[in-house]
Structure 1
Amino acid sequence: MVVARKSLVGIRVFRHHVLDIGEEVCPFICVKVGNAQTTNFWFDNWVFDQPLSNSCSYMDIKNMGSSILAKVADFYRNGAWEWPSELLRKFPVLQEVRIQLSDARDLVEWKSISGKKRLFSVHRVWEDLRPRTSTVLWWPLVWFSKSIPKHSLTLWLAIRDRLLTQEQLKDWKIQQLDVCSFCSVCRDSRDHLFFSCEFYHRILAAFQAKGYCTGYQGSWVDFTQDATVQLRGKSLHISINQLVSAAIIFYIWQSISLTPLPLNINIKR
Protein backbone atom coordinates (compact mmCIF):
# COMPACT_ATOMS: atom_id res chain seq x y z
CA MET A 1 0.00 0.00 0.00
CA VAL A 2 1.41 3.37 -1.04
CA VAL A 3 1.09 6.11 1.55
CA ALA A 4 0.25 9.33 -0.28
CA ARG A 5 0.77 12.08 2.22
CA LYS A 6 -2.11 13.37 4.33
CA SER A 7 -0.05 14.12 7.40
CA LEU A 8 3.38 13.24 8.67
CA VAL A 9 1.94 12.33 12.05
CA GLY A 10 1.21 8.78 10.90
CA ILE A 11 4.68 8.36 9.47
CA ARG A 12 6.29 9.60 12.67
CA VAL A 13 4.23 7.10 14.68
CA PHE A 14 5.27 4.36 12.24
CA ARG A 15 8.87 5.51 12.45
CA HIS A 16 9.27 5.91 16.20
CA HIS A 17 6.68 3.64 17.82
CA VAL A 18 5.75 0.84 15.44
CA LEU A 19 9.16 0.01 14.04
CA ASP A 20 11.03 1.11 17.16
CA ILE A 21 14.23 1.19 15.14
CA GLY A 22 14.37 4.92 14.58
CA GLU A 23 18.11 5.26 14.07
CA GLU A 24 18.05 2.64 11.35
CA VAL A 25 14.91 3.83 9.56
CA CYS A 26 14.83 7.62 9.94
CA PRO A 27 17.64 8.40 7.47
CA PHE A 28 15.63 6.70 4.71
CA ILE A 29 12.34 8.54 5.30
CA CYS A 30 12.27 11.96 3.68
CA VAL A 31 9.75 14.51 2.46
CA LYS A 32 9.31 15.92 -1.02
CA VAL A 33 8.09 19.40 -0.22
CA GLY A 34 5.09 20.72 -2.13
CA ASN A 35 3.16 23.44 -0.32
CA ALA A 36 5.04 22.65 2.93
CA GLN A 37 1.85 23.00 4.96
CA THR A 38 2.19 19.64 6.69
CA THR A 39 5.98 19.22 6.85
CA ASN A 40 7.46 19.78 10.30
CA PHE A 41 10.39 22.18 10.01
CA TRP A 42 12.46 20.55 12.76
CA PHE A 43 11.67 16.85 12.81
CA ASP A 44 10.95 15.89 9.21
CA ASN A 45 13.75 15.06 6.80
CA TRP A 46 12.96 17.67 4.14
CA VAL A 47 16.39 19.21 3.45
CA PHE A 48 20.10 18.37 3.88
CA ASP A 49 19.30 14.61 4.17
CA GLN A 50 18.54 14.76 7.90
CA PRO A 51 16.11 16.50 10.26
CA LEU A 52 17.36 19.82 11.61
CA SER A 53 16.49 18.62 15.11
CA ASN A 54 19.52 16.30 14.91
CA SER A 55 21.72 19.37 15.35
CA CYS A 56 19.89 21.18 18.13
CA SER A 57 17.95 20.66 21.35
CA TYR A 58 14.42 21.64 22.33
CA MET A 59 15.87 24.53 24.28
CA ASP A 60 17.77 25.70 21.18
CA ILE A 61 14.51 25.69 19.21
CA LYS A 62 12.83 27.78 21.90
CA ASN A 63 15.76 30.21 22.14
CA MET A 64 15.59 30.75 18.38
CA GLY A 65 11.99 31.92 18.81
CA SER A 66 10.52 28.91 17.09
CA SER A 67 8.25 26.03 18.08
CA ILE A 68 8.64 22.28 17.75
CA LEU A 69 5.34 22.37 15.83
CA ALA A 70 6.59 24.86 13.24
CA LYS A 71 5.90 23.98 9.61
CA VAL A 72 8.28 24.61 6.71
CA ALA A 73 5.68 26.94 5.16
CA ASP A 74 5.99 29.26 8.17
CA PHE A 75 9.36 30.45 6.83
CA TYR A 76 8.26 31.04 3.24
CA ARG A 77 6.50 34.30 2.32
CA ASN A 78 5.80 36.04 -0.97
CA GLY A 79 7.73 33.48 -2.96
CA ALA A 80 10.93 33.66 -0.90
CA TRP A 81 12.45 32.19 2.25
CA GLU A 82 12.56 34.41 5.33
CA TRP A 83 14.98 33.12 7.96
CA PRO A 84 15.09 34.72 11.45
CA SER A 85 18.57 35.95 12.34
CA GLU A 86 18.82 33.58 15.33
CA LEU A 87 18.03 30.66 13.04
CA LEU A 88 20.67 31.67 10.49
CA ARG A 89 23.30 31.96 13.18
CA LYS A 90 22.62 28.36 14.16
CA PHE A 91 22.09 27.08 10.61
CA PRO A 92 23.88 29.36 8.12
CA VAL A 93 23.50 26.59 5.54
CA LEU A 94 19.79 27.52 5.25
CA GLN A 95 20.83 30.37 2.96
CA GLU A 96 21.60 27.68 0.36
CA VAL A 97 18.02 26.33 0.28
CA ARG A 98 16.67 26.69 -3.27
CA ILE A 99 13.42 24.79 -2.88
CA GLN A 100 10.43 26.61 -4.38
CA LEU A 101 7.05 25.85 -2.84
CA SER A 102 4.05 24.99 -5.00
CA ASP A 103 0.37 24.16 -4.65
CA ALA A 104 1.09 20.42 -4.61
CA ARG A 105 0.77 18.50 -1.37
CA ASP A 106 3.83 17.24 0.47
CA LEU A 107 4.77 13.61 -0.21
CA VAL A 108 6.55 11.10 2.00
CA GLU A 109 9.36 9.34 0.14
CA TRP A 110 11.60 6.40 0.91
CA LYS A 111 15.28 6.65 0.01
CA SER A 112 16.32 3.14 -0.90
CA ILE A 113 19.68 1.61 -0.11
CA SER A 114 20.64 2.41 -3.72
CA GLY A 115 20.03 6.11 -3.02
CA LYS A 116 16.91 6.45 -5.19
CA LYS A 117 13.94 8.33 -3.74
CA ARG A 118 10.49 6.90 -4.37
CA LEU A 119 7.02 7.29 -2.91
CA PHE A 120 6.90 5.67 0.53
CA SER A 121 5.43 2.16 0.70
CA VAL A 122 5.63 -0.64 3.25
CA HIS A 123 6.79 -3.00 0.49
CA ARG A 124 9.84 -0.84 -0.30
CA VAL A 125 10.70 -0.51 3.39
CA TRP A 126 10.51 -4.27 3.86
CA GLU A 127 12.62 -5.00 0.78
CA ASP A 128 15.36 -2.66 1.98
CA LEU A 129 15.41 -3.66 5.64
CA ARG A 130 14.57 -7.35 5.68
CA PRO A 131 17.36 -9.82 6.46
CA ARG A 132 18.44 -11.77 3.41
CA THR A 133 19.64 -15.36 3.38
CA SER A 134 20.23 -17.88 0.63
CA THR A 135 17.14 -19.47 -0.91
CA VAL A 136 16.48 -22.99 0.37
CA LEU A 137 16.18 -25.67 -2.29
CA TRP A 138 13.02 -27.17 -0.78
CA TRP A 139 10.81 -24.07 -1.11
CA PRO A 140 8.80 -25.48 -4.09
CA LEU A 141 7.74 -28.36 -1.84
CA VAL A 142 6.11 -25.92 0.60
CA TRP A 143 5.15 -22.77 -1.29
CA PHE A 144 3.56 -23.54 -4.65
CA SER A 145 0.65 -21.99 -6.51
CA LYS A 146 -1.95 -24.64 -5.62
CA SER A 147 -0.87 -25.06 -1.99
CA ILE A 148 -3.31 -25.06 0.93
CA PRO A 149 -1.97 -22.41 3.34
CA LYS A 150 -2.53 -24.32 6.59
CA HIS A 151 -0.92 -27.41 5.09
CA SER A 152 2.06 -25.43 3.82
CA LEU A 153 2.53 -23.71 7.18
CA THR A 154 2.56 -27.03 9.05
CA LEU A 155 4.99 -28.55 6.55
CA TRP A 156 7.24 -25.48 6.84
CA LEU A 157 7.25 -25.78 10.64
CA ALA A 158 8.01 -29.50 10.38
CA ILE A 159 10.94 -29.00 8.00
CA ARG A 160 12.37 -26.40 10.39
CA ASP A 161 11.66 -28.69 13.38
CA ARG A 162 9.41 -26.15 15.09
CA LEU A 163 6.40 -28.36 15.84
CA LEU A 164 5.68 -28.68 19.56
CA THR A 165 6.25 -32.39 19.85
CA GLN A 166 6.88 -34.20 23.14
CA GLU A 167 10.59 -34.02 22.38
CA GLN A 168 10.35 -30.23 22.12
CA LEU A 169 8.08 -29.83 25.15
CA LYS A 170 10.37 -31.77 27.48
CA ASP A 171 12.58 -28.68 27.72
CA TRP A 172 9.56 -26.75 29.01
CA LYS A 173 9.25 -29.15 31.98
CA ILE A 174 5.67 -30.08 31.08
CA GLN A 175 4.50 -33.38 32.55
CA GLN A 176 2.42 -35.25 30.01
CA LEU A 177 2.12 -38.56 28.20
CA ASP A 178 5.64 -39.46 27.16
CA VAL A 179 4.89 -41.91 24.37
CA CYS A 180 3.70 -41.57 20.80
CA SER A 181 -0.10 -41.46 20.61
CA PHE A 182 -0.05 -43.71 17.55
CA CYS A 183 2.38 -46.51 18.34
CA SER A 184 3.25 -46.09 22.06
CA VAL A 185 6.83 -47.12 21.29
CA CYS A 186 8.71 -43.98 22.29
CA ARG A 187 8.37 -40.26 22.89
CA ASP A 188 7.13 -38.53 19.76
CA SER A 189 9.39 -36.18 17.88
CA ARG A 190 9.36 -34.76 14.39
CA ASP A 191 11.60 -37.51 13.04
CA HIS A 192 9.65 -40.24 14.79
CA LEU A 193 6.18 -39.05 13.78
CA PHE A 194 6.96 -38.67 10.10
CA PHE A 195 9.64 -41.27 9.38
CA SER A 196 9.79 -43.92 12.10
CA CYS A 197 6.22 -44.33 13.35
CA GLU A 198 4.34 -47.32 11.96
CA PHE A 199 1.21 -45.18 11.59
CA TYR A 200 3.06 -42.81 9.23
CA HIS A 201 4.36 -45.69 7.12
CA ARG A 202 0.85 -47.17 6.78
CA ILE A 203 -0.53 -43.87 5.50
CA LEU A 204 2.43 -43.33 3.18
CA ALA A 205 2.15 -46.88 1.81
CA ALA A 206 -1.50 -46.28 0.90
CA PHE A 207 -0.58 -43.28 -1.26
CA GLN A 208 2.51 -44.94 -2.70
CA ALA A 209 0.32 -47.83 -3.86
CA LYS A 210 -1.47 -45.27 -6.03
CA GLY A 211 1.78 -43.89 -7.41
CA TYR A 212 2.20 -40.84 -5.17
CA CYS A 213 5.02 -39.87 -2.79
CA THR A 214 7.30 -42.65 -4.03
CA GLY A 215 10.86 -42.61 -2.75
CA TYR A 216 10.06 -40.72 0.47
CA GLN A 217 11.99 -42.45 3.21
CA GLY A 218 14.99 -42.20 5.48
CA SER A 219 15.11 -38.78 7.13
CA TRP A 220 14.01 -35.20 6.70
CA VAL A 221 17.22 -34.42 4.82
CA ASP A 222 16.52 -37.26 2.38
CA PHE A 223 12.87 -36.24 2.16
CA THR A 224 13.56 -32.62 1.27
CA GLN A 225 16.32 -33.55 -1.18
CA ASP A 226 14.24 -36.24 -2.93
CA ALA A 227 11.09 -34.14 -3.00
CA THR A 228 12.95 -31.13 -4.38
CA VAL A 229 14.13 -33.24 -7.33
CA GLN A 230 10.88 -35.12 -7.90
CA LEU A 231 8.53 -32.14 -7.59
CA ARG A 232 10.05 -29.85 -10.19
CA GLY A 233 7.59 -28.78 -12.85
CA LYS A 234 3.91 -27.89 -13.11
CA SER A 235 2.25 -31.08 -14.31
CA LEU A 236 -0.93 -32.36 -12.69
CA HIS A 237 0.88 -35.39 -11.24
CA ILE A 238 3.51 -33.16 -9.59
CA SER A 239 0.82 -30.83 -8.19
CA ILE A 240 -1.02 -33.79 -6.65
CA ASN A 241 2.24 -35.05 -5.16
CA GLN A 242 2.88 -31.64 -3.60
CA LEU A 243 -0.63 -31.52 -2.15
CA VAL A 244 -0.47 -35.07 -0.83
CA SER A 245 2.96 -34.56 0.77
CA ALA A 246 1.78 -31.49 2.67
CA ALA A 247 -1.58 -33.05 3.57
CA ILE A 248 0.01 -36.15 5.14
CA ILE A 249 2.18 -34.00 7.41
CA PHE A 250 -0.75 -31.71 8.26
CA TYR A 251 -3.30 -34.39 9.18
CA ILE A 252 -0.84 -36.47 11.19
CA TRP A 253 0.14 -33.40 13.16
CA GLN A 254 -3.49 -32.30 13.54
CA SER A 255 -4.33 -35.73 14.98
CA ILE A 256 -1.50 -35.33 17.50
CA SER A 257 -2.35 -31.74 18.43
CA LEU A 258 -6.02 -32.60 19.00
CA THR A 259 -5.13 -35.42 21.40
CA PRO A 260 -6.34 -34.25 24.84
CA LEU A 261 -3.71 -33.76 27.53
CA PRO A 262 -4.07 -35.70 30.80
CA LEU A 263 -6.13 -33.98 33.46
CA ASN A 264 -3.25 -34.00 35.94
CA ILE A 265 -1.01 -31.88 33.72
CA ASN A 266 1.41 -29.82 35.78
CA ILE A 267 3.78 -27.13 34.52
CA LYS A 268 6.93 -27.03 36.64
CA ARG A 269 8.40 -23.64 37.36
Structure 2
Amino acid sequence: MDSLDLLKKGEFRVAKNQPRQFVGSKEDPPTRTECRSSFYWRIGNGCSVSLWFDNWHPRGPLNLYFSDSTIYASGLPRQATVADLFTNCRAMIKGVLDSWADPLPTLSHSSDRFGWKGNTSHLFTVASAWDLIRRRKTRVSWHTFIWNNSITSRYQFNLWLIAKRRLSTQALLLYYGRIDSALCPFCNEVPDSIDHLFFGCRISASIAFFWASRCNLPWRNNSWVENLNWAATFLMGKDFYKCIARFSFGALCYYIWKHRNSILFREQSLSVPEVKNQLIKVVRDKATTYRNVDDTYRNRRLQRSWGIDPIIFSARDYSTSTGL
Protein backbone atom coordinates (compact mmCIF):
# COMPACT_ATOMS: atom_id res chain seq x y z
CA MET A 1 0.00 0.00 0.00
CA ASP A 2 1.51 3.31 -1.07
CA SER A 3 1.34 6.63 0.74
CA LEU A 4 -1.54 7.87 -1.45
CA ASP A 5 -3.74 4.93 -0.40
CA LEU A 6 -2.85 5.55 3.24
CA LEU A 7 -3.80 9.18 2.87
CA LYS A 8 -7.15 8.30 1.27
CA LYS A 9 -7.98 5.87 4.07
CA GLY A 10 -7.05 8.32 6.76
CA GLU A 11 -4.26 6.19 8.19
CA PHE A 12 -2.13 9.21 9.02
CA ARG A 13 -2.46 10.94 12.36
CA VAL A 14 -1.71 14.59 12.74
CA ALA A 15 0.61 15.30 15.67
CA LYS A 16 0.10 18.46 17.64
CA ASN A 17 2.77 21.04 17.08
CA GLN A 18 4.65 21.28 20.36
CA PRO A 19 6.51 24.52 21.15
CA ARG A 20 10.28 24.22 21.05
CA GLN A 21 11.94 24.25 24.44
CA PHE A 22 15.48 25.38 25.06
CA VAL A 23 16.98 23.72 28.12
CA GLY A 24 18.78 25.93 30.62
CA SER A 25 17.37 29.25 29.40
CA LYS A 26 14.28 31.13 30.50
CA GLU A 27 14.55 33.58 27.64
CA ASP A 28 13.65 33.23 23.98
CA PRO A 29 16.63 32.33 21.79
CA PRO A 30 17.62 34.52 18.86
CA THR A 31 15.28 34.10 15.91
CA ARG A 32 16.40 32.85 12.53
CA THR A 33 15.75 36.30 11.07
CA GLU A 34 18.05 37.93 13.63
CA CYS A 35 20.85 35.50 12.85
CA ARG A 36 20.33 35.73 9.10
CA SER A 37 20.54 39.53 9.18
CA SER A 38 24.11 39.24 10.47
CA PHE A 39 25.20 37.92 7.07
CA TYR A 40 25.24 40.32 4.16
CA TRP A 41 26.50 40.71 0.59
CA ARG A 42 29.10 43.26 -0.46
CA ILE A 43 28.14 44.02 -4.04
CA GLY A 44 30.75 43.80 -6.78
CA ASN A 45 29.30 43.02 -10.20
CA GLY A 46 25.97 41.96 -8.67
CA CYS A 47 25.73 38.81 -10.76
CA SER A 48 25.70 36.27 -7.90
CA VAL A 49 23.37 38.03 -5.43
CA SER A 50 19.61 37.53 -5.42
CA LEU A 51 17.81 40.83 -5.86
CA TRP A 52 14.78 39.88 -3.80
CA PHE A 53 15.97 37.37 -1.20
CA ASP A 54 19.60 38.09 -0.29
CA ASN A 55 20.67 40.60 2.37
CA TRP A 56 22.42 43.21 0.24
CA HIS A 57 20.28 46.30 0.79
CA PRO A 58 20.73 48.40 3.99
CA ARG A 59 17.14 47.59 4.97
CA GLY A 60 17.51 43.85 4.45
CA PRO A 61 16.06 41.40 1.89
CA LEU A 62 13.62 43.18 -0.42
CA ASN A 63 11.04 40.39 -0.30
CA LEU A 64 10.23 41.62 3.21
CA TYR A 65 8.96 44.91 1.72
CA PHE A 66 7.46 43.87 -1.61
CA SER A 67 4.58 41.44 -2.00
CA ASP A 68 4.58 38.64 -4.56
CA SER A 69 2.21 40.63 -6.77
CA THR A 70 4.53 43.66 -6.66
CA ILE A 71 7.52 41.50 -7.54
CA TYR A 72 5.60 40.07 -10.49
CA ALA A 73 4.49 43.52 -11.65
CA SER A 74 8.03 44.89 -11.51
CA GLY A 75 9.06 42.75 -14.44
CA LEU A 76 12.00 41.36 -12.49
CA PRO A 77 11.58 37.62 -11.86
CA ARG A 78 12.13 36.02 -8.49
CA GLN A 79 15.44 34.68 -9.81
CA ALA A 80 16.70 38.18 -10.69
CA THR A 81 20.11 39.33 -9.52
CA VAL A 82 21.21 42.74 -8.28
CA ALA A 83 22.88 43.33 -11.66
CA ASP A 84 19.45 43.12 -13.33
CA LEU A 85 18.29 46.08 -11.25
CA PHE A 86 20.63 48.46 -13.05
CA THR A 87 19.47 47.79 -16.60
CA ASN A 88 17.68 50.66 -18.33
CA CYS A 89 14.36 48.88 -18.69
CA ARG A 90 14.05 48.33 -14.94
CA ALA A 91 13.97 51.99 -13.91
CA MET A 92 10.58 51.67 -12.14
CA ILE A 93 11.67 49.47 -9.23
CA LYS A 94 15.01 51.26 -9.04
CA GLY A 95 13.15 54.54 -8.62
CA VAL A 96 11.24 53.10 -5.66
CA LEU A 97 14.49 52.06 -3.98
CA ASP A 98 16.02 55.48 -4.63
CA SER A 99 13.07 57.11 -2.85
CA TRP A 100 14.00 55.28 0.36
CA ALA A 101 17.06 57.52 0.73
CA ASP A 102 19.27 54.48 1.32
CA PRO A 103 22.28 54.57 -1.01
CA LEU A 104 22.37 51.80 -3.60
CA PRO A 105 25.69 50.10 -4.33
CA THR A 106 27.72 50.91 -7.40
CA LEU A 107 28.48 47.98 -9.66
CA SER A 108 32.10 47.13 -10.41
CA HIS A 109 34.04 44.41 -12.21
CA SER A 110 34.96 42.60 -8.98
CA SER A 111 33.11 39.58 -7.63
CA ASP A 112 30.40 39.82 -5.00
CA ARG A 113 31.64 39.02 -1.49
CA PHE A 114 29.82 37.41 1.42
CA GLY A 115 30.32 39.29 4.70
CA TRP A 116 29.66 38.90 8.42
CA LYS A 117 28.63 41.75 10.73
CA GLY A 118 29.86 40.07 13.89
CA ASN A 119 33.36 41.58 13.83
CA THR A 120 35.39 44.31 12.15
CA SER A 121 37.17 41.88 9.83
CA HIS A 122 33.80 40.80 8.34
CA LEU A 123 34.97 37.18 8.57
CA PHE A 124 32.79 34.65 10.37
CA THR A 125 34.12 33.07 13.59
CA VAL A 126 32.35 30.95 16.18
CA ALA A 127 33.48 33.34 18.93
CA SER A 128 31.95 36.37 17.23
CA ALA A 129 28.74 34.44 16.51
CA TRP A 130 28.41 33.47 20.15
CA ASP A 131 29.07 37.03 21.25
CA LEU A 132 26.36 38.22 18.86
CA ILE A 133 23.55 35.85 19.88
CA ARG A 134 24.21 35.38 23.59
CA ARG A 135 22.01 37.04 26.16
CA ARG A 136 23.96 39.62 28.13
CA LYS A 137 23.33 40.02 31.83
CA THR A 138 24.93 41.91 34.66
CA ARG A 139 28.36 40.50 35.52
CA VAL A 140 28.34 38.75 38.88
CA SER A 141 30.89 39.55 41.55
CA TRP A 142 32.04 35.96 42.05
CA HIS A 143 33.01 35.02 38.48
CA THR A 144 36.75 35.67 38.92
CA PHE A 145 36.75 33.66 42.13
CA ILE A 146 35.00 30.54 40.82
CA TRP A 147 36.78 30.42 37.46
CA ASN A 148 40.23 30.98 38.92
CA ASN A 149 42.88 28.53 37.71
CA SER A 150 43.85 27.53 41.24
CA ILE A 151 40.50 25.70 41.64
CA THR A 152 40.08 22.29 40.03
CA SER A 153 37.56 22.13 37.17
CA ARG A 154 35.07 19.85 38.91
CA TYR A 155 35.17 22.08 41.98
CA GLN A 156 34.60 25.10 39.74
CA PHE A 157 31.58 23.51 38.10
CA ASN A 158 30.11 22.54 41.45
CA LEU A 159 30.63 26.07 42.80
CA TRP A 160 29.00 27.50 39.70
CA LEU A 161 25.94 25.28 40.17
CA ILE A 162 25.71 26.35 43.81
CA ALA A 163 26.06 30.04 42.93
CA LYS A 164 23.35 29.69 40.26
CA ARG A 165 21.21 27.61 42.66
CA ARG A 166 21.00 24.81 40.12
CA LEU A 167 21.95 21.89 42.36
CA SER A 168 19.15 19.33 42.70
CA THR A 169 18.61 19.87 46.38
CA GLN A 170 15.61 18.45 48.23
CA ALA A 171 14.11 21.92 48.58
CA LEU A 172 14.26 22.39 44.79
CA LEU A 173 12.74 18.97 44.08
CA LEU A 174 9.97 19.63 46.58
CA TYR A 175 9.26 22.97 44.93
CA TYR A 176 8.79 21.31 41.53
CA GLY A 177 6.80 18.42 42.99
CA ARG A 178 9.34 15.73 42.10
CA ILE A 179 9.39 14.33 45.63
CA ASP A 180 6.81 14.33 48.43
CA SER A 181 9.01 14.70 51.50
CA ALA A 182 12.66 14.66 52.45
CA LEU A 183 15.09 15.50 55.23
CA CYS A 184 18.70 16.59 55.15
CA PRO A 185 20.88 13.44 55.17
CA PHE A 186 23.29 15.14 57.58
CA CYS A 187 21.05 16.44 60.36
CA ASN A 188 17.65 14.84 59.54
CA GLU A 189 15.88 17.99 60.61
CA VAL A 190 14.74 19.92 57.51
CA PRO A 191 14.95 19.41 53.72
CA ASP A 192 18.35 20.38 52.43
CA SER A 193 18.70 23.54 50.34
CA ILE A 194 21.63 25.62 49.12
CA ASP A 195 21.69 27.75 52.25
CA HIS A 196 21.19 24.74 54.49
CA LEU A 197 23.94 22.59 52.96
CA PHE A 198 26.38 25.52 52.64
CA PHE A 199 26.56 25.94 55.64
CA GLY A 200 23.33 26.29 57.61
CA CYS A 201 23.28 22.64 58.66
CA ARG A 202 25.06 22.07 61.95
CA ILE A 203 27.01 19.14 60.42
CA SER A 204 28.22 20.96 57.33
CA ALA A 205 28.88 24.03 59.49
CA SER A 206 31.24 21.99 61.66
CA ILE A 207 33.14 20.92 58.54
CA ALA A 208 33.30 24.54 57.39
CA PHE A 209 34.70 25.63 60.75
CA PHE A 210 37.25 22.80 60.47
CA TRP A 211 38.31 24.13 57.04
CA ALA A 212 38.52 27.72 58.33
CA SER A 213 40.64 26.72 61.31
CA ARG A 214 43.07 24.82 59.07
CA CYS A 215 43.34 27.88 56.80
CA ASN A 216 43.59 30.21 59.82
CA LEU A 217 40.66 32.27 58.57
CA PRO A 218 38.22 34.37 60.66
CA TRP A 219 35.13 32.40 59.64
CA ARG A 220 31.59 33.61 60.32
CA ASN A 221 28.85 31.27 59.23
CA ASN A 222 26.34 33.37 57.24
CA SER A 223 24.06 32.68 54.29
CA TRP A 224 25.54 31.13 51.16
CA VAL A 225 25.49 34.44 49.24
CA GLU A 226 27.31 36.19 52.07
CA ASN A 227 29.83 33.36 52.39
CA LEU A 228 30.52 33.40 48.64
CA ASN A 229 30.91 37.18 48.56
CA TRP A 230 33.25 36.98 51.52
CA ALA A 231 35.36 34.31 49.82
CA ALA A 232 35.40 36.27 46.54
CA THR A 233 36.68 39.31 48.44
CA PHE A 234 39.19 37.92 50.95
CA LEU A 235 40.51 34.80 49.20
CA MET A 236 41.63 36.46 45.97
CA GLY A 237 45.32 36.79 45.25
CA LYS A 238 48.22 35.03 43.54
CA ASP A 239 50.25 34.09 46.59
CA PHE A 240 50.46 30.52 47.87
CA TYR A 241 48.24 31.12 50.90
CA LYS A 242 45.34 32.57 48.87
CA CYS A 243 45.61 29.90 46.19
CA ILE A 244 45.39 27.07 48.72
CA ALA A 245 42.54 28.82 50.54
CA ARG A 246 40.55 29.16 47.29
CA PHE A 247 41.25 25.60 46.25
CA SER A 248 40.28 24.18 49.64
CA PHE A 249 37.05 26.20 49.69
CA GLY A 250 36.07 24.64 46.35
CA ALA A 251 37.02 21.20 47.67
CA LEU A 252 35.02 21.81 50.86
CA CYS A 253 31.81 22.51 48.93
CA TYR A 254 32.44 19.65 46.50
CA TYR A 255 32.94 16.97 49.16
CA ILE A 256 29.97 18.10 51.20
CA TRP A 257 27.78 17.69 48.13
CA LYS A 258 29.43 14.40 47.17
CA HIS A 259 29.04 12.94 50.66
CA ARG A 260 25.42 14.09 50.75
CA ASN A 261 24.74 12.14 47.52
CA SER A 262 26.55 9.06 48.82
CA ILE A 263 24.26 8.98 51.86
CA LEU A 264 21.09 9.42 49.80
CA PHE A 265 21.81 7.24 46.78
CA ARG A 266 24.45 4.73 47.95
CA GLU A 267 23.08 4.27 51.46
CA GLN A 268 26.39 5.13 53.07
CA SER A 269 26.45 6.27 56.66
CA LEU A 270 27.33 9.76 57.78
CA SER A 271 31.04 10.12 58.43
CA VAL A 272 32.32 13.61 59.18
CA PRO A 273 35.90 12.35 59.73
CA GLU A 274 35.85 10.85 56.22
CA VAL A 275 34.93 14.20 54.69
CA LYS A 276 37.67 15.92 56.69
CA ASN A 277 40.25 13.31 55.66
CA GLN A 278 39.31 13.69 52.00
CA LEU A 279 39.69 17.44 52.33
CA ILE A 280 43.10 17.11 53.99
CA LYS A 281 44.32 14.70 51.29
CA VAL A 282 43.36 16.85 48.29
CA VAL A 283 44.81 19.99 49.91
CA ARG A 284 48.10 18.22 50.58
CA ASP A 285 48.21 16.86 47.02
CA LYS A 286 47.49 20.30 45.59
CA ALA A 287 50.08 22.01 47.78
CA THR A 288 52.85 19.62 46.73
CA THR A 289 52.52 20.90 43.15
CA TYR A 290 54.05 24.19 44.36
CA ARG A 291 57.76 24.82 44.77
CA ASN A 292 59.88 27.73 45.94
CA VAL A 293 57.04 29.02 48.13
CA ASP A 294 57.92 32.10 50.16
CA ASP A 295 59.01 31.01 53.62
CA THR A 296 56.79 33.41 55.57
CA TYR A 297 55.07 33.00 58.90
CA ARG A 298 51.63 32.73 57.30
CA ASN A 299 52.73 30.11 54.77
CA ARG A 300 54.54 28.12 57.47
CA ARG A 301 51.44 28.18 59.64
CA LEU A 302 49.29 26.98 56.72
CA GLN A 303 51.80 24.23 55.96
CA ARG A 304 51.72 22.96 59.55
CA SER A 305 47.91 23.21 59.81
CA TRP A 306 47.32 20.94 56.82
CA GLY A 307 50.38 18.76 57.36
CA ILE A 308 51.87 19.72 54.00
CA ASP A 309 55.34 18.49 53.08
CA PRO A 310 57.82 21.34 53.79
CA ILE A 311 59.49 20.57 50.46
CA ILE A 312 57.24 23.26 49.02
CA PHE A 313 59.65 25.86 50.40
CA SER A 314 62.58 24.51 48.40
CA ALA A 315 63.31 25.09 44.74
CA ARG A 316 62.25 22.39 42.28
CA ASP A 317 65.11 20.10 41.29
CA TYR A 318 65.03 19.31 37.56
CA SER A 319 68.25 17.27 37.52
CA THR A 320 66.40 13.97 38.06
CA SER A 321 63.90 14.51 35.26
CA THR A 322 66.51 15.77 32.76
CA GLY A 323 69.09 13.14 33.60
CA LEU A 324 71.80 15.67 34.52
Normalising by the residue count of structure 2, what TM-score does the alignment of the two structures yield?
0.60
Instruction: Give 1:109's aligned residue.
Output: 116
Structure 2 CA distance, aligned partners of 1:117 and 1:59? 39
Kept in 2, the 8 Å contact 1:40–1:69? The answer is yes
State the aligned residue count. 234
Matching residue of 1:56: 66
Q: Which residue of 2 aligns with 1:99?
A: 106
In 1, Cα distance between equivalents of 2:209 and 2:186: 16
Distance in 2 of aligned mates of 1:172 and 1:185: 21
Counterpart residue number, 1:6: none
Out of 194, 197, 201, the residue aligned to residue 198 of structure 2 is: 194
Equivalent in 22, 31, 37 of residue 20 of structure 1? 31
SS in 2 for 1:201: helix
Q: Give 1:82's match in structure 2, choosing from 87, 108, 124.
A: 87
TM-score (normalised: structure 1): 0.70
Q: Return the index of the structure with the highest Cα Rg.
A: 2
1:228 matched to which residue of 2? Answer: 232
Q: 1:111 to 1:219 in 2, by over 3 A?
A: closer
Q: What 5-or-longer segments of structure 1 have no aligned partner?
A: 1-17, 263-269
Match in the other structure for 1:134 = 138
Identity %: 25
Partner of 1:47: 57
Confirm or deny: 8 A CA contact 2:118 2:128 kept in the other structure: no
1:210–1:98 Cα change, 3 Å: closer
SS in 1 for 2:41: strand
More strand by share: 1
Query: In structure 2, what is the Cα distance between the partners aligned to 1:43 and 1:126?
Result: 25
How far did residue 238 of structure 1 move? 1.6
CA distance in 1, matches of 2:153, 2:49: 43
One-letter amino acid matched to 1:91: K
Q: Is the 8 A contact 2:199 2:208 kept in 1?
A: no
Q: Is the 8 A contact 1:31 1:106 kept in 2?
A: yes
Q: Distance in 2 between matches of 1:70 and 1:149?
A: 55
Cα deviation code 1:224-249 (max 9, x no counterpart): 23212212222222222222212222
Q: Which runs of 5+ in 2 are unaligned?
A: 1-28, 268-324
C-alpha distance 228-61 of structure 1, shift in aligned 2 (>3 A): same
Task: Indicate the residue corresponding to 2:164 in structure 1.
Answer: 160
Contact 2:43–2:105 (8 Å) recurs in 1: no
Instruction: Please tell me whether the aligned partners of residues 194 and 224 of structure 2 are also in contact (alpha carbons under 8 angstroms).
Output: no
